[in-house]
Amino acid sequence: MHFSKTFVALLCTVFATVQANPVKRQSFNAEATYYDPDGGFGACGTQLQNSDFAVALSEDTWESITVDYNGASVTVTVEDLCPGCSGDNIGLVEAAMAALDANYVNDGIIPVTWFFD
Specify if 14 maps to a domain.
no
Specify if 102 maps to a domain.
yes
- pLDDT the model gives residue 59: 67
Specify if 92 maps to a domain.
yes
Over range 31-40, report the average pLDDT. 92
Query: Is 5 in a helix, a strand, or coil?
Result: helix
- pLDDT the model gives residue 49: 94
User: Taking 70 as the threshold, does the pLDDT of residue 4 lie above it?
Assistant: no
Q: Name the residue with higher pLDDT: 40 or 13.
A: 40
- 107, burial (CB in 10 Å: exposed 0-12, middle 13-18, buried 19+): middle
Specify if 80 maps to a domain.
yes
93 forms beta bridges with: 35
Question: For the chain, how many structural domains are there in total?
Answer: 1
| CATH code of the domain in which 86 resides | 2.40.40.10
- Rounded CA separation 23/111 (Å): 25
Which structural domain, as residue segments, surrounds residue 46? 25-116
Specify if 10 maps to a domain.
no
Specify if 20 maps to a domain.
no
What is the tens place of the pLDDT at every residue in 50-96?
Answer: 999 988 887 666 678 899 999 999 999 888 888 888 889 999 999 99
Cα dihedral 108, 30, 102, 45 sign: positive
pTM (two decimals): 0.62
Task: Provide the H-helix boundaries in the chain.
Answer: 5-20, 94-100, 104-107
User: Taking 80 as the threshold, does the pLDDT of residue 46 lie above it?
Assistant: yes
